[in-house]
Amino acid sequence: MDYRDEVFLTVAENLSFSKAAEELYISQPAVTKHIKELESKLEAALFERKGNKVYLTQAGKLVYRQLKQIRQQYHEMAFELGRLNQAYKGNLRIGASSTIAQYLIPEVLAAFHRRFPDIKLDLLNGNSQEMEQKLLNQEIELALVENDSSQTNIRYQSFLGDEIVVVTGSQSVYGKRKTLAVADLQQIPLVLRERGSGTLEVIRHALIRHNLTLDSLNILIHLGSTEAIKNFLTNFDGIAFVSEKSIEKELLLKSMVKLQVKGLHIPRQFRIASRLGHENNTQQLFQNFLLQYNF
């Protein structure tokens, strides 16, 4: 690909000349120069400004769609050439839900990089809903999600089991209790993940089986990450639902207590999500690596 094409794709994906300059390690005037040269070559305006914001024109959207496909073909060509020489090369953009991004995937990425050092990895994180949307928008090639619903045009494959458990701070008034009843969830102050979180979705489905809704619980606050919830519990006389994978250190240090809720068991699967009809060699290589990884 022409370098001007790479500059255009970077501006289009950031909708910002300044952010593109930072990402490419060139000056903003240089970015502007490359875009003007490409527009002159194509005889079409690719961007338009509205106030302080930049938008793709209709021609820009067309060029972006086509160049993304060309870039992917180049990556696949580089991968196949590398395979001929037993040297894998390419790029892979992965999105991961918050729990997976924070507690599971970093060690996998490090191991994958040791095995395939010439494959460039980029990791984005957010809640499961956000990652699925980025996947459908073709901003990433794979999404690692923790929800249990499924969207059309997305293929799902489980790679690891997990359980959502009830915890409290060791200094909490509930810290000395070993068990709770399901009905206690309607009385004890509770902190949960934000809406759109895969964890919250799984909890909601589990409660329905006990004829409970989220609205029937004594929810004090919704927080945007498990780390925020754990820090909140330090000075909070209440409980929280979190991934069991996220509290291994706290249980070892005895700063947090896991409580059993009689009759309530919330297992789930962490899943690989990919777009139907879209799979490249680098993507498949990472999927196989993840599925075989010894967590």
CATH class assigned to 1-67: mainly alpha
- Extents of the domains making up the chain: 1-67, 162-267
Domain 1-67 and domain 162-267, same fold? Reply is no
Q: How far apart are CA 144 and CA 157, in angstroms?
A: 10
- Exposure of 247 by Cβ count < 10 A (0-12 exposed, 13-18 middle, 19+ buried)? buried
Task: Specify the CATH number for 162-267; select among 3.40.190.10, 1.20.1530.20, 2.60.40.10, 3.10.20.30.
Answer: 3.40.190.10
Q: Each residue's pLDDT tens digit in the chain (295 positions)? A: 789 999 999 999 889 999 888 888 899 999 999 999 999 999 999 999 888 889 999 999 999 999 988 987 887 787 677 667 666 788 899 999 989 999 999 999 999 999 888 899 999 999 999 999 999 998 999 999 999 888 888 999 999 999 999 999 999 999 988 899 999 999 999 999 988 888 899 999 999 988 999 999 999 999 989 999 999 999 899 999 999 999 999 999 999 999 999 999 999 999 999 998 767 788 988 998 999 898 8
CA 257/CA 171 separation, integer angstroms = 9
DSSP string for residues in 170-192: TTSTTTT--EE-GGGGGTS-EEE
pLDDT at 136: 92
